[in-house]
Chain A
Amino acid sequence: MSTASETFPREIAAPAAAVSTRPAQPFRLAEAAGVDRKNLLDFTFDGQRYSGHSGDTLASALLASGVRLVGRSFKYHRPRGILSAGPEEPNAIVELRDGARREPNTRATVAELFQGLTATSQNRWPSLRFDVMGVNQFVAPILAAGFYYKTFMWPASFWEKVYEPLIRRAAGLGRASGSHDPDHYEKTTTHCDVLVIGAGPAGLMAALAAVRAGARVVLCEEDFLLGGRLLSERRMIGNRSALEWLREAEAELRAAPECRILRRTSVFGVFDGAYGAVERVGDHLPVPPMFQPRQRLWRIIAKRHVLCAGSLERPLVFGDNDRPGVMLAGAVRTYVNRFGVAPGRRAVVFANNDDAARTVADLAAAGVAVAALVDARAEVTPEISRIAEAAGAKLLAGARITETRGRLALRGAVVTDAAGTRHNFDCDLLAMSGGWSPTVHLTSHHGGKPVWSEAKAAFLPPSHLPPGMAVAGAATGDPLLADCLASGAQAGAEAARLAGFQTSLPAIPETDGESAELQPLWRVRGGKGKAFVDFQNDVAASDVALAQREGFRAVEHLKRYTTLGMATDQGKTSNVNGLALMAEFNERTIAQTGTTTFRPPYTPVSVGVLAGRHRGHEFRPTRLTPTHDWATEQGAVFVETGPWLRAQYFPRPGEADWLVTATREARAVREAVGLCDVSTLGKIDIQGPDAAVLLDRVYANNFASLPIGRVRYGVMLREDGFVMDDGTTARLAGDRFLMTTTTANAVSVSRHLDFCSQWLWPELDVQMISVTEQWAQIAVAGPRSRAVIEGVVDAGFDISNAAFPYMSCAELTICGGLKARLFRISFSGELAYELAVPARYGDALMRRLMEIGKPLGVTPYGIEALGVLRVEKGHPAGNELSGQTTAADIGLGRMMSKTKDFIGKAMAQRAGLTATDRPVLVGIRPWDRAARLRAGAHFLARNVENLAANDEGYVTSVAYSPALGHWIGLGLLQRGTERLGEVVRAYDPVRGGDLEVEIVSPVLVDPTGDRLRG
């Protein structure tokens, strides 16, 4: 659009340009309820400069500037203008901002104007006025209902290469910015007694009633101003204008200490017990203020909820009803009264109801010529005749618009009257009203279905509402202002009463007279042009008819086949008309046809706000060990294990990769001494007279017999007989044990123990609490570990092998009186200890042990080396404790007690779990010792085909063994224990591996265990 004047109908002269360097706003009126004429703002649309005022939306500012053409339609690329003045807008969809803050698919009708706003139209290429894809409308037959299904069937490979890129360009889906969103989003929660959704007349009355009762109230309004339709209409409440009443109501609510007003906030869903809402904190600003989020996700937990979501006007379905300049009648009044913008110079109004007649009066009052009032009804009220006459509009009752003219903007309309006579009107604005549909989306988010009312020609809220919800105002189907004020007051007072407050109904002010009588008109027959039902997805009445002929009769089928109501506007303007047409074509009633289910979100919600701060490194909380800062200083590489960050390995300069480092670290443990933070293992303090009884029931092996001061390895099963977890448990006193779990299962084992003690055996006197975080625990492992430990234990504690043998534990003091716990346990198979101190001393203890161990060659090691050491010793860990292995499978079958009951005992004996051909734990080494093993490879006999049927198990863990000088592994192999010495293949189709491996004992280093007992 080069100049605004191009859009004028020829017979109307453009006003003289304003004396200003700013672009003129030739369609701006003198009076406006909602814009600040003193505050001028500059913006650009498709690179062209325009001006507007604070209080404008992008849509109202574009209209003020004379811009009509704002987009191209989705499928046919037809020129489209602004249809509505609210969130239901299907056409005026733009990209806001540019660069990393570019936001596609924004509705111009709700985008608040700000200084410097840049907006770009979508769905056009290369430009809005000249759109190559506009040819789509000439090939429209192939783009009819079901075209996605019919056209893009074959061959499948065309989808990625041809169809999808083509559809994306042609259909003009918005572009994501491709950069990281520079803004932040946050989430917050609020609680209240009464949540009021919508701040129109009903919502304001509801909030006032609840606030006056003393309730905590949250009032959410999607718009940036409170008032709803009060801003759009010239009405009287009490003896003053509705705007004055609104100002007073708003002032009272603002002054109420327990009322939170959330403007720019869309409630998009009702979830069980909570509402989700998005507050657009910074969307109306070029850049969010420092420390403010762009958007805030609210979770609102309310005792009662009053839905005052209003209603949305329906378009009329007639030929070429989509030209720029065809607008909903209510939106026309909004632009005139609220924004002070004339959406045209010469209008025709087309309606099937009484309400739309006020459009004629409002346009006339604003100085816009009204050529005709076309009322589809044969009879109209004297009031309507009077309005038409006063405005100088020709009244055509029982008539319909059958054609429109104009290419990039509306230039005229053809009216066919009851007698079949055609009347031609020049006009640049066509205000249409097919009646109003209550906004019932949120009422059906709990599965309730809206109910069709023949009398009101509308879907009304279901009788089964989400718990705690009441509906008031136009959303109930009673759109009259007087009814809205009354039902809002009633619902607000009742909600407060049900939330526990004493209430009285506030006085309900009188209003001026009104009528909303309506006679449905679902489509105008006989027009030639396409009659659109769903503007955003380009679904015309003919598409609905075609779908019906092709057998798509159920609502949900029709919806998917035609894509009616499936665009970003969620069919806000199209659903009812679509259903009515479907009912007509199926020769059924609308009630019989049903409605589609409304699912959250009611309005599009950005992924950013749903994620809040939880993205990138903040995706989830991480848990740090007591020696984390020390390990960071050492240059450790960390890895996530569950929520924990653990040191994976400690690279030294010159080491090529993790394998070199881990090999060095593992060798140091075998030959000297190593240190490893093992604090992440779950530690559970189990106390009470029945502590041993509980342990005997949750472990497969015996614990009652464990002497004080000793540690025992235990394995616990799930009730289905598979292994749940393993670890060591120490007996600190007769009635006190310290259980350790694997890092991964710490939380689930705790929960399991609570289950056992609270639910299965509530009579047991046993108390449990996690002490994982209380103690820093460091493994000191290797032949020189005793010397290191000697350096810290206080005098008087004998750690000789005789006094403190393998599997001992003690509470003692170290470093001059610090209480500590010492365990002689070994995961590495070497002489080893685990030393625990209160967590705050973990860092200092690690530094002290490093210092003491320096002359002994002490080496910190990470979990890679830990893994090497345990594979060498054949200890099962996470890969072997997969939830699909039995104790017998991993070589622990003999631990299962035959003399007591324990969790999993009965089911462990079932046939499937005791079958002799189950895969069991074996060690493997490559026949070619230079070869590298890979975990995940499958065992196949040497001379069979590579088929799943021949699969005999798989490699669970592998490691390069510094002790043996070659790769080794653990695996689960059918009848593995009988097959020691046999050679099978480790077949790895994913990585192209096929190696011969020898089956050996899982314990490949120090099989007699002399080292750990030394």
Chain B
Amino acid sequence: MRIICPLCGERGAEEFVYHGDATVRRPHPDSSAETWNAYVHLRDNPAGRHSELWYHAAGCHAWLVVERDVRTHEIFAVTLAQDVALARRPVTA
């Protein structure tokens, strides 16, 4: 699989580290145990298009949000995770 890093350009998957689901959001510290458990442990496993976090470990060290079809490995979009995170409502610690 080849991923187009928005900063570095197209690279082989060996330069990246997979992290997981990019749709989950870290809960507010006061959230219930169930909410925290869901954030840490519960993941959907869609057969198809998915939003994932990848890290360009051997390149620019940017975290990326990769929109990918997990069945075909077709990649629809790659965005800097920081831009995605800034665009959503900031979560304060």
Contact = CB atoms under 8 A, between A and B. Distances in A.
A associates with B: yes
Contacts of B39: 719
Contact of A759 (B1, B29, B61, B81): B81
A907 B40 contact: yes
A125 to B, nearest CB: 45
Interface residues of A, number: 29
Interface stretch (A164-172, A750-758, A822-830): A750-758
Contacts of B80: 758
Given A759-B63, A901-B29, A273 B55 contact: no
Interface in A727-770: 747, 750-751, 754-755, 758-763
A447 B39 CA distance: 33
Interface string A900-913: 11000111011000
Contacts of A467: 74
B93 to A, nearest CB: 5
B12 A273 contact: yes
Nearest to B27: A906
Given A273-B1, A273-B2, A763 B90 contact: yes
A301 B82 CA distance: 30
Contact of A754 (B1, B41, B61): B61
29 contacts: A273-B1, A273-B2, A274-B2, A446-B72, A693-B93, A697-B93, A719-B39, A720-B40, A751-B17, A754-B55, A754-B61, A755-B55, A758-B63, A758-B80, A758-B81, A758-B85, A759-B81, A760-B85, A762-B85, A763-B86, A763-B90, A900-B93, A901-B29, A906-B27, A906-B33, A906-B36, A907-B36, A907-B37, A907-B40
A905 B30 CA distance: 10
B42 interface: no
A759 B57 CA distance: 15
A755 B19 contact: yes
Interface in B19-35: 19, 26-27, 29, 31, 33
Contacts of A693: 93
A758 B2 CA distance: 22
B40 A755 contact: no
B61 to A, nearest CB: 6
* Closest CB pairs A-B (n = 7): A273-B2, A272-B1, A901-B29, A762-B85, A758-B82, A906-B36, A758-B63
A274 B55 contact: no
Given A761-B93, A762-B86, A272 B2 contact: yes
B85 A759 contact: yes
B13 interface: yes
Contacts of B17: 751
Given A751-B17, A758-B63, A763-B86, A910 B2 contact: no
A1014 to B, nearest CB: 40
B55 A751 contact: yes
Contacts of B73: 272
Given A272-B13, A760-B85, A910 B63 contact: no
Contact of B12 (A274, A720, A901): A274
Interface residues of B, number: 33
Interface in A901-948: 901, 905-907, 909-910
Interface of B: 1-2, 12-13, 17, 19, 26-27, 29, 31, 33, 36-37, 39-41, 53, 55, 57, 61-63, 72-74, 80-82, 85-86, 90-91, 93
Given A754-B62, A759-B82, A761-B91, 7 more contacts: A301-B12, A720-B40, A750-B61, A751-B61, A755-B53, A759-B63, A905-B29
Interface in A757-797: 758-763
- Which of B2, B39, B85, B91 has the most chain A CB atoms inside 10 A of its CB? B85
A755 B63 CA distance: 7
A754 B93 CA distance: 17
- Which of B13, B57, B80, B93 has the most chain A CB atoms inside 10 A of its CB? B93
Contacts, number: 74
A909 B36 CA distance: 11
Contacts of B85: 758-760, 762
Contacts of A720: 40-41
Contacts of A274: 2, 12
A978 to B, nearest CB: 27
Interface string A685-702: 000000001000100000
Contacts of B33: 906, 909-910
A148 B72 CA distance: 36
B45 to A, nearest CB: 18
A747 B58 CA distance: 11
Contacts of A901: 29, 93
Contact of B82 (A272, A447, A697, A762): A762
Contacts of B57: 747, 751
A906 B63 contact: no
Nearest to A467: B74
Contacts of A272: 1-2, 13, 73
B15 to A, nearest CB: 12
A648 B29 CA distance: 44
Contacts of A750: 61
A28 to B, nearest CB: 49
B86 A906 contact: no
Interface string A708-737: 000000000001100000000000000000
Contacts of B36: 906-907, 910
A762 B62 CA distance: 12
Interface string A435-459: 0000000000011000000000000
A697 B92 CA distance: 11
A906 B55 contact: no
A203 B23 CA distance: 46
A133 B74 CA distance: 52
A268 to B, nearest CB: 18
A686 to B, nearest CB: 14
B31 to A, nearest CB: 7
A755 B54 CA distance: 10
A720 B33 CA distance: 12
Nearest to A693: B93
Contacts of A900: 93
A274 B85 CA distance: 32
Interface in A866-925: 900-901, 905-907, 909-910
Contacts of B37: 907, 910
Given A274-B12, A754-B55, A755-B19, A760 B26 contact: yes
A910 B82 CA distance: 30
B75 to A, nearest CB: 10
A71 B36 CA distance: 67
Nearest to A900: B93
Contacts of A747: 57
A762 B81 CA distance: 9
A906 B33 CA distance: 7
- Which of A467, A751, A759, A905 has the most chain B CB atoms inside 10 A of its CB? A759
B46 to A, nearest CB: 18
A907 B27 CA distance: 11
Contacts of B13: 272
B93 A758 contact: no
Interface string A668-700: 000000000000000000000000010001000
